[in-house]
Amino acid sequence: MALIGAFKRLLGDTAVLTREQDLAGITEDWRGRFRAPALCAVLPANTEQVASIVRLCVENGTPVLPQGGNTSLCGGATPSELSKPPVIILLTRMRRIRSIDPVNNTMVVDAGCVLATIQETAAAADRLYPVSLGAEGSCQIGGNIATNAGGTGVLRYGNTRDNVLGLEVVLPDGSIWDGLSALRKNNTGYDLKHLFIGSEGTLGIITGAVLKLHPLPKAEAVAWLAVDDPQRALDMLGLFQAACSSRLSAFELMNARQIELVLEKVPGRRCPVERIDTWHVLVELSDTGNAEQLAATMQAVLERALEDGVISDGVVAASEAQRKAMWLVRHSVSEANKKAGVGLTSDTAVPVSAVPSFIEGAMAAVHAIVPDLPFVIVGHMGDGNIHLIPFFTFAEWDALGDRDAVAQRIRRAMNDVASSLRGTFSAEHGVGRTLTGEMSRYKPPVELTLMRAVKQAFDPKDLFNPGRVLPSPSIATSHRGD
């Protein structure tokens, strides 16, 4: 085909993948849920090559799909069977740390850099790049930015959005926007950077970025708390914020069922507190200052909370090994849940103050569909981001009649409760292809109209990751307008 020939002349034969076996891991998402054909995959070595590829695709009317580490949880980075087979642009070869400026606390990177490489490069310069998430060993920064990745550092450092100062983007007309600004203050027109962040490849292909770095914390204090209910966890969060301000770097909530599953399913894990039948909180403080002061602050907050009855138990990690052991329990959650059964995870965020109402309301709504269904609950409570997981054993799940319909009803019930509290159905995973129906249901029509106007202005031919993020206008109906 002419387009493939043109790519080979541009990039060399080895940088254009067309064979079934070479495309297998690229045209399917990592969980094996979505798979559709691509015309080919191409491996540009630099931004100019990306721009040339885009120009060839646009001339040809062929869709363009950028792919980073292919770690999307909602089918955002693999082809859709709803559009013509796209050209997949892999950023893998573009993995240069372009420069680092420890005085300005910034790093300029290619979009294909793996997140862990960026974290390590920052640490080697005595700085912190604070975004951290499960896929960090393979996900790429371009994908992180295109999806505004969250993770465990959000409470203190914000989402990926808050840690990007500038971008380089190849636009749908094949031109290159050099927005690689490393400034903290710049009030000169519309902030285009924020439009591309979180746009999931539908407005342009991010090829480079200026990242914000932070002082590397030198001290940490970690504690494990037992609380009677989510409201008391919330009270505890308030005590920590008042006493520790931005030293509070994690505040993770888990229910008893979640801890039980970890202890049952993952060898070597143990619960840091004696009673398991409570709610659990992992709290972390971190600071550039000295460790003794930090430990003393942690101790003082916990003593007061115990006295006041806010917590029923609390253990401060006395060593690095104990800190690691506590975090291991939290990090074993996915493994345990996967082994234990089928969970219909929500990716809810609500105002932090509404977390107890959300948990109570969403559980009741789900129980109206499947009475007495157990819930596993884990979340970044400090951000109001709760993964509420109606949980089936494998046997229960297999015994269900129409599983897809049940799953759909349950998810909708949880999202409706979140929406009634002005929460969101996608706190950190993005929209991709799986949640465009939710966009129709929960977004006000005015907002969808504005988003479509932006898409039309940037990508009038609808060739950039078509069918993602925005629902097709014909099927748009508003929940709020009901």
Residues between 241 and 270 with contacts to a second copy, criterion CB under 8 A: 241-246
Residue 413 C-beta: closest distance to a second copy, Å = 18
Judged by CB under 8 A, the chain residues 339 through 358 that form the site for a second copy are 349-354
Residue 441 lies near a second copy (rule: CB under 8 A): no
Residue 208 C-beta: closest distance to a second copy, Å = 14
Residue 19 lies near a second copy (rule: CB under 8 A): no
Give the range of 85-93, 111-119, 171-179, 306-314 binding a second copy by CB under 8 A. Answer: 171-179
Residue from the set 427, 434, 463, 465 that interacts with a second copy by CB under 8 A = 427
Number of residues located near a second copy, criterion CB under 8 A: 94
Torsion angle in degrees (nearest 10) through CA of 409, 446, 79, 87: 180
CB 112 within 8 A of CB 91: yes
Residue from the set 411, 433, 441, 443 that interacts with a second copy by CB under 8 A = 443
Give the range of 22-30, 52-60, 114-122, 429-437 binding a second copy by CB under 8 A. Answer: 429-437
Residue 292 lies near a second copy (rule: CB under 8 A): no
Residue from the set 425, 440, 464, 466 that interacts with a second copy by CB under 8 A = 425
Torsion angle in degrees (nearest 10) through CA of 342, 140, 249, 157: -130
Burial class, 453, CB count within 10 angstroms (exposed 0-12 / middle 13-18 / buried 19+): exposed
Judged by CB under 8 A, the chain residues 214 through 233 that form the site for a second copy are 214-215, 217
Residue 427 C-beta: closest distance to a second copy, Å = 4
Judged by CB under 8 A, the chain residues 182 through 201 that form the site for a second copy are 182-192, 194-195, 197-199
Q: Which of 73, 74, 75, 77 has the alpha carbon at shortest distance from 64?
A: 77
Print the binding letters for residues 128-167 with a second copy: x by CB under 8 A, - otherwise: -------------------xx-x---x----x-xx-----
Token pair listed for 303: 């003593």
Print the binding letters for residues 379-398 with a second copy: x by CB under 8 A, - otherwise: -x--xxx-------------
Give the range of 111-119, 267-275, 285-293, 387-395 binding a second copy by CB under 8 A. Answer: 285-293
Residue from the set 5, 228, 270, 288 that interacts with a second copy by CB under 8 A = 288
Token pair listed for 98: 């372009």
d(CA 225, CA 228): 10
d(CA 184, CA 193): 13
Residue 106 lies near a second copy (rule: CB under 8 A): yes
Residue 332 lies near a second copy (rule: CB under 8 A): no
Residue 465 lies near a second copy (rule: CB under 8 A): no
Residue 311 C-beta: closest distance to a second copy, Å = 17
Residue from the set 293, 334, 408, 472 that interacts with a second copy by CB under 8 A = 293
CB 222 within 8 A of CB 323: yes
Residue 9 lies near a second copy (rule: CB under 8 A): no
Nearer to a second copy, 78 or 385 (CB): 385
Residue 172 lies near a second copy (rule: CB under 8 A): no
Nearer to a second copy, 219 or 328 (CB): 219
d(CA 56, CA 352): 47
Strand partners of residue 106: 101, 212
| Phi, psi angles (nearest 5°) of residue 151 | 105, -160
Residue 437 lies near a second copy (rule: CB under 8 A): no
Judged by CB under 8 A, the chain residues 24 through 83 that form the site for a second copy are none
The three-state DSSP-derived secondary structure of 231-273 is HHHHHHHHHHHHHHHHHEEEEEEECHHHHHHHHHHCCCCCCCC
Nearer to a second copy, 101 or 396 (CB): 101
Residue 419 lies near a second copy (rule: CB under 8 A): no
Nearer to a second copy, 2 or 457 (CB): 457
CB atoms under 10 Å from CB of 103, counted, come to 5
CB-based burial, 113-125: b 16+ in 10 Å, e otherwise: bbbebbbebbeee
Residue 428 C-beta: closest distance to a second copy, Å = 5
Residue 446 lies near a second copy (rule: CB under 8 A): yes
Residue from the set 404, 422, 474, 481 that interacts with a second copy by CB under 8 A = 422
Residue 110 C-beta: closest distance to a second copy, Å = 18
Residue 423 lies near a second copy (rule: CB under 8 A): yes
